[in-house]
């Protein structure tokens, strides 16, 4: 029996998970238009390889990865490419990004796929390349390229693959539904990923508020005959954070600035494991995902399998949105999500939930009041930080103190903001401070690069000047050596030649009438 450990802090907000009927899963209709951002992951955007006017089929590669920290994009159905341009995206900034726009044709025609049935006999590098080519990025929210995570490097030995089935944020039931409806694919995908990273064991962690998912996964493990450990633990937010679930299940803490691989673990989302199974066994790229549509402003909250690139409004209309004036739509959950400013923005690989709350259900926050230094935020912080101090240093833009107080260990879970009696939007301050620090680091990097280029140019010019001087000296030395061999002083010879030229010119002038 595995020992379950507790984490520091944490809160127990109302879950509201039954609203979307977890365990029931249906398809969302294919919209008339798909908008596919070239950056649906953490890292570098993909590069389009189709042109306006091209007809594409489902599963066709339409944008290829640019480098290691990038993943490709595939068409989720057949249709015509009508634009490659900047469009609104689901992002807290409300900005636009480059997208490929496809007018779907309703035929849903697909390319044929070829998978690998006997994956156990295939080299891990080939399987990783299959995962990369399928466009798989972490589907739990961060969107980290999965192929990169599966290459922890030769210096790190991976002992355990950890499947994080916690899904602790209120309202969201996408992973819960996946574990109930696709448990067999989850188990096979976990085995494939463990094979790729040479993990000795597989551990699946699920909070105890998901009894149906626990039962489904247990049954799938039994059917597979694999040695996979399933661990359940008490419900508390944010137990689903990567570092938090590792501490809960192993008692170890990921070091500040470190990654789970430093402890011999690789942590993946259940959706990522299923996507890996489909990429390897079926040969299919990542083109769809499960999305929770929930909130009391919807007539029919539910979980759906939707095409990536589906406009948010299309999904909410499918769920029966009854929009009030200035209706808020939240991308993600109420704790870590953000309000969407344009409902034509599409869902992406990291969209696990669209929340449409009524004003009574999820009231707007009250205006912030002065901090009263109560310390509740520090008690709730799961990363054992000092949120109050971070708040003051963020306001003062004191980057040195922010770094000393481990700002980047903040997982932005919102627990501190939730318990703050002054209604201070603490996480917003932390996000802004992180952005400022990243901007400063980029500016410093640009400055360092400019200085290095200047110093390299100066060194090159000095080297060229020294080389020219060396050649002149060599020529002079050669001339002196040659003259010395002939017994003639080269300096005196030059003087005599100058005198001779002068005398010759004088003679010519005298002879001129």
- What share of the chain in percent tops pLDDT 70? 96
Looking only at the bridges linking them, the beta strands covering 47-48 and 33-37 are unpaired
- Give CA–CA dist 465/471, Å, rounded: 10
Answer whether residue 7 is part of any domain: no
In contact, 315 and 377? CB cutoff 8 Å = no
Q: Do 408 and 323 have their domain in common?
A: no
User: Nearest 5°: phi and psi at 221?
Assistant: -65, -45
Answer whether residue 354 is part of any domain: no
Cβ neighbors of 490 (< 8 A, separation 6 or more) are 479, 480, 483
- Give CA–CA dist 374/357, Å, rounded: 30
pLDDT interval class at 242 (50, 70, 90): very high
- Give CA–CA dist 266/193, Å, rounded: 9
Answer whether residue 400 is part of any domain: yes
Q: Do 148 and 296 have their domain in common?
A: yes
Answer whether residue 234 is part of any domain: yes
Residue 313 is encoded by which pair of tokens? 């409004």
In contact, 33 and 402? CB cutoff 8 Å = no
The CATH number assigned to the domain holding 22 equals 3.40.50.11540
Q: Do 242 and 122 have their domain in common?
A: yes
pLDDT interval class at 433 (50, 70, 90): very high
> Concatenated DSSP letters for 315-338?
HHHHTTB-PPTT---EES-TTT-E
Q: Do 250 and 302 have their domain in common?
A: yes
Answer whether residue 466 is part of any domain: yes
Q: Rg of the Cα trace of the chain?
A: 32
Q: Do 329 and 377 have their domain in common?
A: no
What's residue 375's pLDDT? 94
513 pLDDT higher than 60? no
SS3 state at 460:
helix
Q: Do 181 and 277 have their domain in common?
A: yes
**Which pTM does this prediction carry?**
0.86
In contact, 247 and 8? CB cutoff 8 Å = no
Please name which of 343, 347, 275 lies closest in space to residue 308, comparing C-alpha atoms: 347
What's residue 511's pLDDT? 56
Answer whether residue 44 is part of any domain: no
Residue 69 is encoded by which pair of tokens? 């920290």
Distance, C-alpha 171 to centroid of its chain: 23
| Structural domains in the chain (count) | 2
pLDDT, one tens digit per residue, over 473-489 is 887 787 777 766 665 56
CA quadruple 483, 486, 487, 493: dihedral sign:
negative
Q: Do 197 and 307 have their domain in common?
A: yes
The residue among 296, 322, 339 that closes a domain is 339
The CATH number assigned to the domain holding 453 equals 1.10.1060
User: Across all residues in the chain, what is the average pLDDT?
Assistant: 92
pLDDT, one tens digit per residue, over 400-424 is 999 999 999 999 999 999 999 999 9
Q: Do 308 and 453 have their domain in common?
A: no
The residue among 339, 359, 384 that closes a domain is 339
Answer whether residue 185 is part of any domain: yes
Q: Do 331 and 377 have their domain in common?
A: no
User: Nearest 5°: phi and psi at 115?
Assistant: -105, -175
Domain of 450, in residue numbers: 368-484
Answer whether residue 205 is part of any domain: yes
Please name which of 108, 126, 8 lies closest in space to residue 59, comparing C-alpha atoms: 108
CA quadruple 63, 66, 67, 71: dihedral sign:
negative
Q: Do 389 and 443 have their domain in common?
A: yes
What's residue 507's pLDDT? 61
Q: Do 243 and 315 have their domain in common?
A: yes
**CA angle 194–197–202, rounded 5-degree value:** 30
Q: Do 323 and 395 have their domain in common?
A: no
């Amino acid at each position: 029996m595995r020992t379950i450990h507790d984490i520091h802090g944490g809160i127990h907000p109302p879950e509201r998970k039954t609203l979307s009927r977890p365990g029931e899963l249906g398809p969302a209709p294919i919209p008339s238009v798909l908008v596919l951002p070239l950056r649906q992951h953490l890292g570098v955007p993909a590069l389009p390889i189709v042109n306006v006017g091209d007809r594409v089929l489902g599963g066709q590669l339409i944008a290829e990865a640019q480098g290691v920290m990038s993943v490709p994009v595939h068409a989720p159905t057949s249709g015509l490419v009508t634009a490659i341009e900047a469009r609104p995206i689901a992002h807290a900034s409300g900005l636009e990004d480059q997208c490929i726009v496809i007018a779907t044709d309703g035929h849903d025609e697909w390319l044929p796929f070829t998978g690998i049935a006997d994956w156990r006999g295939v080299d891990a590098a080939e399987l990783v390349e299959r995962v990369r080519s399928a466009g798989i990025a972490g589907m739990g929210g961060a969107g980290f390229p999965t192929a990169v995570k599966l290459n922890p490097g030769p210096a790190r030995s991976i002992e355990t693959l950890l499947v994080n089935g916690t899904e602790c944020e209120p309202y969201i039931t996408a992973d819960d539904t996946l574990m109930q409806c696709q448990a067999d694919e989850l188990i096979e995908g976990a085995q494939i990923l463990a094979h790729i990273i040479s993990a000795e064991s597989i551990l699946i962690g699920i909070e105890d508020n998901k009894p149906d998912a626990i039962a489904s996964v247990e049954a799938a493990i039994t059917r597979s005959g694999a040695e996979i450990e399933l661990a359940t633990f008490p419900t508390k937010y944010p137990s689903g954070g990567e570092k938090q679930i590792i501490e809960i299940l192993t008692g170890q803490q990921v070091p500040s600035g470190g990654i789970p691989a430093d402890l011999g673990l690789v942590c993946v989302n259940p959706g990522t494991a299923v996507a890996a199974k489909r990429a390897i066994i079926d040969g299919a790229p990542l083109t769809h995902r499960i999305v929770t549509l929930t909130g009391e402003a919807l007539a029919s909250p539910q979980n759906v399998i939707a095409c990536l690139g589906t406009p948010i409004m299309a999904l909410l209309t499918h769920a029966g949105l009854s929009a009030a004036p200035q209706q808020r739509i939240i991308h993600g959950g109420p704790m870590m999500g953000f309000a969407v400013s344009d409902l034509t923005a599409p869902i992406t690989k990291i969209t696990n939930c669209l929340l449409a709350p009524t004003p009574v259900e999820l009231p707007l926050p009250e205006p912030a009041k002065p901090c009263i230094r109560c310390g509740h935020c520090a008690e709730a912080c799961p990363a054992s930080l000092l949120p109050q101090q971070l708040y003051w240093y963020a306001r003062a833009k004191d980057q040195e103190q922010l770094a000393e107080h481990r700002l980047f260990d903040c997982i932005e879970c919102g627990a501190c903001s939730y318990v703050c009696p002054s209604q201070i939007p603490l996480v917003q301050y932390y996000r802004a401070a992180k952005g400022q620090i990243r901007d400063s680091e980029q500016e410093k990097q640009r400055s360092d690069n400019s200085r290095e280029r200047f110093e390299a140019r100066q060194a090159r010019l000095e080297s060229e000047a020294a080389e020219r001087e060396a050649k002149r000296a060599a020529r002079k030395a050669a001339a002196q050596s040659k003259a010395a061999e002939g017994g003639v002083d080269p300096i005196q010879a030059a003087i005599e030649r100058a005198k001779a030229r002068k005398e010759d010119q004088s003679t010519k002038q005298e002879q001129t009438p």
